[in-house]
Structures are given as C-alpha cells and as structure tokens.
Amino acid sequence: MSRIAKSSIMIPKNVTVQISGLEVIVKGPLGSLVRKMHECIKIIKKDNLLFFSHNHLSKSYGWMQAGTHRSVVYTMIVGVIEGFKKQLNLVGIGYRVIMENTNILKLYLGFSHPIIYKIPNTIKALILPQNEIVLTGIDKQLVGQVAANIRSYRIPEPYKGKGIRYSNEKVRIKEAKKK
C-alpha cells in the first residue's frame, strides 16, 4: 500500500490544475504540461488540494499507480513554477560542444566526425565554456532524457575518466593493469 498516495498536494496560487477525464493539465508561470493518467486511479480536487486514490476495481495495483501519479503531478507543479536543470561536463582532450541555431548541438567527442544532436523545442540549452552544457525545461522526464541521450554518446570510462558526465557525478578511476 502506497503511503505517498495518501498525502495530498497543495496547489500554489499561481498554478491552475484542470482534471478532464484521464488528463491532468497544469498551467503556471513558465508554461503548461499535460499528462494522461491511468484509469485505475481517481484524482479529487477540493479547493486548492489534490487527493489521489484508487477506483475500487483494483486495490493493490491502484494504490501503486496512485502513488506514482501523485509524484508525477507534483513534479509537473514544481516544473511550471521553478523548472528543472541538468548540467553536463565534457571531460577529455579535444572534447567540446558548439551550439548551432537555437536547438542543434554539435559535439566533438574524439570521433572522426562531429555528432549532431537536435534538442526538443521545449528544452533550452546553454553552453557555458566549450565543455559545459546546461539543459533547462519544465518537464522533468524530458530534461533527464535529453541529458541521458547526450551522455550516451561518450559514457565516462573508468581508466582516465574521459567522457560526458553530470556535474555532480563522481567517476571512480581504476588503477592501470600491472605487468
């Protein structure tokens, strides 16, 4: 039984939440998000509070889904108020990134060719020096997925630590093989 689903969500004053059928629409100062919910849960809106529970057809599965969807709606509310940010660092000799237009990244990662990555329209990328990328957006899942896609081109290797890593990631460096 989910304990997360039992706690309610308080809706801030500058955010509006609309529930229409299985869709939840959250609008705030940074934008709006729409998410389709599972049919085994029900969302009740009273004044400025949201309550989550299951419809009585599937109790055990319904509570699990209610807890998951409560977390998803909460991150939607946080996203339209504050937004989410991921920072990536390129570590390695010659590794750099160049922004072309407003949504195309050209990554030089030690391959014989540059890698071209198109960023979705709702995500904003900022290149600090030539080896740091800051991704911001209101959808937590999409920001994390874009960061994971970019990181997958060169995962940090354990011997020299070269690759693309998150700013708070610590890479354990292995000792070289002994003869």
Domain containing residue 160: CATH number: 3.90.930.12
Structurally, how many domains does the chain consist of? 2
Residues 149 and 93 in one domain: yes
- 41: in domain: yes
Q: Is the pLDDT of residue 60 over 70?
A: no
Res. 101 pLDDT band, cuts 50 70 90: confident
Residues 47 and 59 in one domain: yes
User: What is the overall mean pLDDT for the chain?
Assistant: 88
Residues 97 and 126 in one domain: yes
Q: Which helix (H) or strand (E) holds 59?
A: helix 59-81
Confidence (pTM): 0.85
Q: Give the domain extent around 49.
A: 9-81
Residues 88 and 160 in one domain: yes
Strand order across the beta sheet in which 104-108 lies: 96-100, 104-108, 115-118
Residues 67 and 90 in one domain: no
Give the other-Cβ count within 10 Å of 139's Cβ.
21
